[in-house]
Amino acid sequence: MPTSPITHMLLAWQQHTIKHLPQVNYEVAVDRDDVIKLEALAELYQLPLDDIIASLVSCALKETEQKMPYIQGQRVIRTEEGDPVYEDIGDTPRYIKIKQQLERHQKQQAQKQPTPEPPSNTRR
């Protein structure tokens, strides 16, 4: 049985093996009850609150992507082992398209950023 992103996250917390991917600060309001839960998790696993929040958001997004329902359309887009595969007319294709557009935009913005010059060696 495949394990969920949440299961992987909890194992990482137990083993203190959180992957630190590039992060962006993003301000968000959190319910007071959830703040208590977040702080309890941080204390339980002896991890920084920021790591707990970032892990939870990442896992929730992965699980959301996995759970987006496939809604069969009318058009056959390919055949696999003789069986027709129908287009997905649900939210998944639109989500993927929007996500790809945002990724391209972010990449273009990053390329526009000036590259910092290395410090010059001016020893005398």
pLDDT at 50: 92
Structure tokens at 96: 């993927």
CA distance 78 to 86: 7
Q: How many CB atoms lie within 10 A of CB 89?
A: 14
Query: Using one digit for the tens of pLDDT, what is the confidence trace for 55-66?
Result: 999 999 999 999
Q: Residue ranges per domain, the chain? A: 5-67, 72-112
CB distance 58 to 70 below 8 Å: no
Write down the pTM of the prediction: 0.74
pLDDT at 122: 58
Which helix H or strand E contains 104, and what residues bound it? helix 91-112
CA distance 120 to 118: 6
Q: DSSP character for 73? A: E
Listed as ranges, residues in the chain with pLDDT below 50 are none
